[in-house]
Amino acid sequence: MSTHASADVHHHEGHDPYLAHHFEDRAQQDEAHSLGLWVFLSTEIMFFGGLFLAFTVYHVLFPEAFGLASSRLSVSWGVINTIVLLVSSFTMAMGVHSAQVGSRKLLLTFLSITLLCAGAFMVIKGIEWTEKYHHHLIPGASFHFDLNDPTAPETQLANWGERREAILIADPHVERHAQMFYVMYFCLTGLHGIHVLIGMGLITWMILRAKRNEFNTRWNTPIELTGLYWHLVDVIWIYLFPLIYLIHRH
Amino acid sequence: MNPQVPSDFDIFPVQASTVAPSVDMFYLFMVGISTFFTIAIPLAIIYFAVKYRRRPGNDKARRVETSTVLEITWTVIPFFIVMGMFFWGSRVYFLHGAEDPNALEILTTGKKWMWKFQHKNGRREINDLHIPVNTPIRLKMASEDVLHSMFVPAFRQKQDVMPGRYTYLNFEATRPGVYHLFCNQYCGTQHSNMIGKVVVMEPGDYQKWLGGFTGDPPEKVGEQLFSSLACNTCHAGDSGARGPVLNGIVGTKVALQGGNIITVDDNYLRESILQPEAKVVAGYQPIMPSFSGVVTQDQVNALIAYIKTLPAGQATGVASAPAPTAAGEAAATATNAETTGSEAVTPAPAVRQDVAPEPENNDAATTAGEAAGSETSAGAAQTTAGEQQGVQ
Amino acid sequence: MSDQASSMRHTEDKIDSTHFAHHIISPKVYLTVIVVLMVLTALTVWVAYQDYSHAWSLANLAIALGLATVKATIVCLWFMHVRYSGRLIQIVIAASLLFFMLMLFGTLMDVWTRHNVTSADYGSPEPTYEQRRDVHLPIGDDKHSH
Amino acid sequence: MSAIDAPNPYQAQSRSSAVEAAATFPNYLNATGGWKSWLFTGDHKRIAILYIITTTIAFLFGGLAAALVRLELLTPQGDLMSGDGYNKAFSAHGIIMVFMFLVPVVPAVLGNFLVPLMIGAKDLAFPKINLMSWYLYMIGTFFGLYAIIAGGVDTGWTFYTPFSTTTNTNVISAAVGVFIIGFSSIFTGFNFIVTVHKMRAPGLTWFRLPLFIWSMYATSLIMILGTPVIGITVLMVAVERLLHLGVFDPAFGGDPLLFQHLFWFYSHPAVYIMILPGFGIISEVIPAFARRNIFGYSFIAMSSLAIAMVGFFVWGHHLFVSGQSAYAGMVFSALSFVIGVPTAIKVFNWTATLYKGSISFETPMLFALFFIGLFLIGGLTGLFLAAMGLDIHLHDTYFVVAHFHYVMVGGMMLAYLAGIHYWWPKISGRMYPEFLGKLSALIVFVGFHITFFPQFVMGYMGMPRQYHEYVAEFQVYHVLSTAGASVLGVGFLMPVVYLTYSWFYGPRVNSNPFKATGLEWQTSSPPPTTNFVEIPVVTVGPYEYADFEENELVHAR
Ligand code: HEA
Ligand code: HEA
Ligand code: CUA
Ligand SMILES: [Cu+2]
């Protein structure tokens, strides 16, 4: 079934310090790494997928409750966070670019901006979560969702009385089901937040390694992989944003 | 009367519903196909194994080309076989699901670990289900806690029961008798004791059971109730029982949870049956269901009378015997002096008032009962015992 | 075949190609991309506030998700270099999305058509979606006292 | 891609010299010493050994729980254990056997050992991640066993809500265990996928890959696409238990069926994780002992992929009576039937491979043939369950229990035993005792039927599963089943004992005792740490036995 290549194939030219012993050459190693990361990202998609599925099912089951609950989120914070995250994605891409062209200074700058944006994102999330706390929108014993709350945006509507009746006919337990929205909201943004934190950790690590001058035009795979991961975090937010903030604004 | 089951080595459960024969037929078909493959393939293997075993003259490796024709054959043929199975299997399924708008609806609640039924006229029962033969029945089911599943092997019927949503089981029994009823969805500690029986009766008997009364003395009635209401599953008196032994308790002192001590008298017994959670015996879980609304005042009296006759220092009843004796069965049919709608409507504990399985008021109950009655007697008239196989 | 094979250090069939690596994309492209993403974000928010006629109540959601998909695709293609990657990586992405979608639709297939199982309350017409929902809940708020 | 290339003199020469050279090399077992060299190894072969030890221990624990279950069921009354005790016993049995034993066993033991060897690579693509996945397995198993030992879990292996979110047993730590073991499995699968794509030896094109590799590849696809979903699902259960948010709680509109969808979206594909690697083993063993090229190579290869794909869309067949919509049920039922076809293709091809062979019946072959016999019944009864009309009656009865033991124990377990015997000389460098091997195969086969066949019958009679006590008329079947289980237990314990013995004292073997064709046989037994002295160059398909034997020089010493 097989023959063996002559010995010199194995003991090939010099030794590349960036080449692990079990790979034949850099091309093989790099491709293995990038394929590996992509395969990992696909597991991430399925991981979030489970939650997205739960969100969708409950959205289908309780459209009114989800609409009402969603409209109590702050769109402006959502928009700001989207922009922050998109910018961070851009700076990350620029960071990878700087690494590829071998500019350590730019690499450090872009990575730092990315890290800052990520931090800002988390701070804003923190603000939003605190707001929810003050409005008793944290699921659990203290949860309180009231269709008659005069401060809620929907109760400002002109025809609210009518709408309220219609909603209650459609879903008499709408106040209870609103909690499900917040459960999903916290699960999704929480899990996403954990990913942002992991990303921040990775970026910090990359900054430290870049400071130690570990990367150059020949060796920047870790930066690329971190970048891929970070973009995925962004992509997930791109879906989360309309799904949780915008489902019922019209 | 014990649940009707075949003797030890039968391989078919009794067929007692309209769908059972068609399920069995399909099952036999599947068994046939499977037997064919389970014999044919190993036979081929054995044949090759013998014919081509390694031996002098056959010790060289060979090359045999793959035959695409063969491959396609054994892809396409099984495909058609399984599609056949799919269509037949689904057809049988839709027989199961088929429902009759005039079906007799019985409200069914599963909870850890018992089945509660409520008939049209308000009569309730626990773990036993009395139904008329040859009448479309529809169980409207919900759970109060976790998932359960209603399974009657003799009917080849099963449906999960869940909290927060009704599910339905439609069937029509074709043979009077007593059949097993199992909880088939794992639900915890007593999952395997969440069993009961289905009593299929002639429609007339069913009507009598629904409203009939008996002239037996109260202790006697109480004894029968004690088993038909499944008191004995918890108060059987063996060491593993879930409830306290009731023998000779009248007049004794009982320690309650919280430290109080109380002397057992009629009022306490009554309260224990109707509101068991009010005074819980020390050392026991408050798992006893409330029988308020399940039993009439007369029946409470009968139960108390029976409990009083229990000799001190001896175990009651048969240990974990969900299947009552023939006498018990017959009497259970005939007790209930005055089960009326209005008395029976008190919602079971933990069932919210506004969403409780809808109680019928007296008139409605009677009408429904009558309707069901005339319906079924008509059905019964067509069916004599000998012809049952033909009715499907 | 064997000549060709022994000249390689390892085997790569067409399907294995990942070749992403060192295609260097100009910063100008990145800049364009981020601008487009911002515009799309603004658009997403704007359309969310538009009211389509009632018959189109799903339209807002569909448009929002459509725009999100456009954005995500742009991020993938340029920021993540998928545009310059080999087939294999594209297959990996497509596969995970496909499987996610199938999980979603498999489950929704049940959720959307569930009332066919519970079926009619006799006498009355098929219960509507809303009727069927937990209007009938036989359990109460008070029950769950966590 | 013609499979036969003319053998060239260079090929033969080089092969034998390579084998010679390898034999004088230190092998992976004695290359370095000390416990650290094992616990911090990156060598896929050593990691495989770590997994052999840990999964075997897991199997013994699971078997112990099975023994308790069977003993309790000897009589209709619950005389051995309390109701809770019994529930904890079968939950422990199911959780250990599925998550800690059968899902990881073949990929992590044989897959780890063989994937690089079979494709002519020096190691898996990510050795450190490979080691990490063993640690994850250990940590997860620790959590799981902790849950089971410190008070127990009584949810069954399926963790159905709302029971699992309300029972007062150690569900959280069991869920955390399952979550972590899940990641172990994701990393294994991801390593295999990258390795198979990127590290094949020169000339080893996709259609020259051994079928074991194809099946490991298909398995890996399931692992990476399915496992994350069970991860997030058990996480939600844990969160629900901790915080009572109502994710699956109907009081807040939570949908218990959603849990079931999520659970089975993983767990049905997972049953194919539990059988595809077995198919791979059988596809290696049968040609080796029939000395024939396998019949329908590409059909078997493609059917693995087809099973992995279609296997994702049949999960709803576990929900036929749970309140799922009838339309969804129809779709899932039809697809479940469809999946029987690629499986049938495999069975037919294995059988046809015997045709015109030169068959011998060493232990691996016996296990492989018994595998076909048992899996056949398991698979065909799967079709009973896939039929909606019949599943209404059979769901959650002992018929299902019998079905899945036929496929999991009769199928995968026997395949694993076939594989572990077949590659034992390669793994340990020593031979197993042939007579004891055949004897245990026979005992397992007989014991298995006695144990599980009666369960089909009582299942159809209506005996529900997960029953601590049962009505007396089922006792006959239960007694038979318990009797069979003791025979079966002996059959399973034998290999544990004699293989351990053989590891230390068995007779040494040459590099290719079964004269098989795979690349793994082209290096010494046990192989050197870097697997091959020289990287092999592949010129023909994997099962060219005729070709191989013509070439006198191949018979390595
Ligand atoms: C290794 C694991 C494994 C495998 C391979 C299978 C294979 C199959 N299983 Fe099984 N199954 C389980 C493990 C497995 N199963 C487990 C663990 C459960 C219970 C879970 C629980 O509730 O705890 C279960 C439960 C289960 C159910 C749910 C039962 C219920 O709870 O009500 C169903 C229903 O459709 C089913 C179907 C099938 C089918 C159609 C196949 C098919 O893939 C089988 C295909 C094989 C063949 C068809 C045989 C070979 C073919 C021939 C010899 C040729 C002749 C063939 C034709 C004519 C088609 N299985
Ligand atoms: C890989 C999977 C696997 C394997 C190998 C087995 C193996 C066995 N199983 Fe298991 N089984 C399951 C997976 C498996 N099972 C699953 C998933 C369930 C469902 C659980 C649930 O409902 O949640 C189940 C449920 C299940 C039940 C149903 C319980 C119920 O529903 O009430 C029964 C009953 O007979 C049973 C029996 C057996 C037997 C007799 C064996 C035999 O093959 C075992 C033979 C082996 C031995 C007997 C081991 C010998 C070892 C010792 C005796 C101990 C020595 C120990 C030490 C030194 C520590 N199993
Ligand atoms: Cu109720 Cu099992
Ligand atoms: Cu399945």
Q: What is the pLDDT of residues D429-462, one digit of tens each?
A: 999 999 999 999 999 999 999 999 999 999 999 9
CB–CB contact B355 C138 (8 Å): yes
Q: Flag whether pLDDT at B71 surpasses 80.
A: yes
Q: What pLDDT score was predicted for residue B149?
A: 95
pLDDT exceeds cutoff 50 at B321: no
What residues have CB less than 8 Å from D516, skipping those under 6 apart? D284, D288
Residues, chain D: 557
Q: Are D280 and D217 in contact (CB under 8 A)?
A: no
Q: For residue A192, what are its two tokens?
A: 């996403």
Nearest Cα to Cα of residue D414 among D454, D381, D376: D376
Whose structure tokens read 């196909």?
Answer: B33
CB D511 within 8 A of CB D522: yes
Dist. CA C19–CA C17, nearest whole Å? 6
CB atoms closer than 10 angstroms to residue C98: 14
Average pLDDT over residues B214-239: 74
SS3 D449: helix
- Residue among D253, D257, D228 at smallest CA distance from D318: D257
What number of H helices and E strands is found in chain C? 6, 0
Annotate D152-204 with DSSP letters as a single string. Answer: ---STTTT-TTHHHHS-SSHHHHHHHHHHHHHHHHHHHHHHHHHHHH-PPTT-
What are the mean pLDDT values of chain D's consecutive 10-residue runs (557 residues total)? Answer: 35 44 67 84 93 96 95 91 92 95 95 94 92 96 92 91 87 93 94 93 91 96 94 91 82 85 95 95 95 92 94 94 89 95 95 92 95 96 95 95 96 96 94 95 96 94 93 92 95 96 92 88 88 84 79 43
Name the residue with tokens 């085997």. C11
Residues of chain A with confidence (pLDDT) below 70 = 1-15, 250
CB atoms < 10 A from the CB of B343, how many? 17
Q: How far is the CA of D411 from the centre of ligand 2 (A)?
A: 14
Counted across chains A and C, CB pairs separated by less than 8 A come out at 156
Q: Name the more confident of C42 and B345.
A: C42
Tokens at A217, concatenated: 């035009």
* Residue D135: count of CB within 10 angstroms of its CB: 13
Nearest to C103 among A27, A49, A249 (CB): A49
Please give the Cα distance from C102 to D177 (Å, whole number). Answer: 28
Contact predicate D104/D47, CB 8 Å: no
Lowest mean pLDDT among B57-61, B151-155, B322-326, C55-59: B322-326
List D370's β-bridge partners, or say none: none
Question: Tokens 């819980």 appear where?
Answer: B280
Bridge partners of B177, per DSSP, are: B200
Instruction: With CA atoms as reference, report the closest residue to B93 among D401, D331, C112, C113.
Output: D331
Pick from B12, B78, B185: CB nearest D396:
B185
* Contacts of residue D179, Cβ cutoff 8 Å, sequence gap at least 6: D140, D230, D231, D234, D235, D238
CA–CA dist B107, D171 (Å, integer):
33
Mean pLDDT for the stretch of residues B113-133 = 85
Give one DSSP letter per residue of A204-235, joined into a string. HHHHHHHHTT---SS--HHHHHHHHHHHHHHH
**Closest Cβ opposite residue D544 in set A1, A47, A173:** A1
Instruction: State what percent of residues in chain B have pLDDT above 90.
Output: 28
Q: Which residues of D36-72 are buried (b: 16+ CB within 10 A; e: fewer)?
A: eebeebbbbbbbbbbbbebbbebbebbbebbbbbbbb
Cα D121 to Cα C15: distance, rounded to the nearest angstrom: 19
Q: Are A138 and A132 in contact (CB under 8 A)?
A: yes
Question: Angle, nearest 10°, between helix axes D326-338 and D340-354?
Answer: 10
Tokens (6 digits) for B252: 């004794």
For residues D444 and D417, the answer to whether their CB atoms sit within 8 Å is: yes
Which has the higher per-residue pLDDT, D358 or B319?
D358
C137:B99 CB<8 A: no
**Helix count and strand count (H, E) for chain A:** 7, 1
Mean pLDDT to the nearest integer, B210-218: 63
Q: How confident is the model at residue C115 (pLDDT cuts 50, 70, 90)?
A: low
pLDDT at B212: 58
Ligand 3 centre to CA of B184 (Å) is 6
pLDDT tens digits, A21-76: 778 777 788 888 889 999 999 999 999 999 999 999 998 888 888 888 888 888 89
Checking DSSP bridges between strand B196-201 and strand B114-118, what pairing results, if any? unpaired
Closest by alpha carbon to B321, among B201, B195, B198, B209? B195
pLDDT for the residue numbered C82: 85
Atom of ligand 1 nearest to the CA of D278: 1
Query: Chain-centre distance of CA D143, in angstroms?
Result: 22
Rounded to two decimals, the ipTM of the complex is 0.87
Chain A (29-88) residues lying within 8 Å, Cβ to Cβ, of chain D: 31-32, 35-36, 39-40, 42-44, 46-51, 53-54, 57-58, 61-62, 65
Q: Which residues form ligand 3's pocket by a CB distance below 6 Å?
A: B 110, 113, 148, 183, 185-187, 191, 194
Neighbouring chains of D at 3+ CB pairs within 8 Å? Answer: A, B, C
